[in-house]
Amino acid sequence: MRLEGRQQCRPSSFEMNNIAAALQTFRRQLPASVTLIAVSKGQGIEAIQAALDAGQRHFGENRVQEALQKWPLLKARYPDSTLHLIGPLQTNKVKDALGLFDVIHTIDRPKLVEALAREKSGVKFLVQVNQGGEPQKSGIAPAGLPALLALCKKSNLPVSGLMTIPPQTGDAKIYFQKLAALAKRHNLPGLSMGMSGDWQEAVAAGATYIRVGGAIFGARLKP
């Protein structure tokens, strides 16, 4: 990630206090069944460090390349931190991703399942579902989910849940409830859903992971 402009600056102590305060507010509100993933894409090391100092240990990144530049050092310092990949994974980045991430939320196609299954790892996986049929979003269509899960099983790829980004139009709550129903049908305990704007609805629908960026870190600095 190129560090430019504001990104090179240390966040002011005001911003650091805000990160700690936001995390504390989330911790107070979330039931124990929900893991808060602090989405640190587009954030510099100092902001992430402020979240680590405040006790946050689950983080999400959406680009393997950016994560490779920020996280090896942070993971060495905080071996108890857990890193989640929440963006699309190219098959040529599979080895890098398995070496860095602890949980990959974005299994979405047979080719990726096959590439991941060729490597040994202790990584946990979730399948991303594209509920709105939006071509610009990755994820498997609900109709293709049974076959993809069957392939994961056959390939010994341990899938523990489903992830979704609901379409921007429409009621997110409905999509969260539908994802919860799909997960239940397939006996999957994990549900990765809900972001800064809709995490309450996701928690109400049974989310086990919420992925929150802006509401913790404030504005993102474009990588």
Ligand X SMILES: *Cc1c(COP(=O)(O)O)cnc(C)c1O
Judged by the rule CB under 6 A, the positions of this chain that interact with ligand X are 39, 41, 62, 86-87, 165, 195-197, 211-215
Q: Give the tokens for residue 113.
A: 């399942």
CB of 214 to ligand X, least distance (A): 4
Closer CB to ligand X, 56 or 62, in the complex: 62
CB of 27 to ligand X, least distance (A): 16
Closer CB to ligand X, 22 or 187, in the complex: 22
Q: Are the CB atoms for 51 and 38 separated by under 8 Å?
A: yes
CB of 221 to ligand X, least distance (A): 12
Closer CB to ligand X, 88 or 114, in the complex: 88
Closer CB to ligand X, 159 or 165, in the complex: 165
Q: Are the CB atoms for 152 and 131 separated by under 8 Å?
A: no
Residue with CB nearest ligand X? Answer: 213
> Which is nearest to 19 in space by CA: 45, 48, 41, 44?
48
CB of 154 to ligand X, least distance (A): 27
Query: Which residues, other chains included, contact 3 with Cβ-Cβ below 8 Å and sequence gap of 6+?
Result: 44
Q: HSE (CB half, 13 Å, CA atoms) of 125?
A: 27
Closer CB to ligand X, 74 or 215, in the complex: 215
Closer CB to ligand X, 26 or 77, in the complex: 26
Angle CA(128)–CA(61)–CA(94) in degrees, nearest 5? 65
Q: Are the CB atoms for 164 and 175 separated by under 8 Å?
A: yes
CB of 170 to ligand X, least distance (A): 17
CA–CA dist 193, 206 (Å, integer): 9
CB of 59 to ligand X, least distance (A): 11
Sequential DSSP letters for 78-125? -TT-EEEE-S---GGGHHHHHHH-SEEEEE-SHHHHHHHHTS----EE
Q: Give the tokens for residue 45.
A: 């090391």
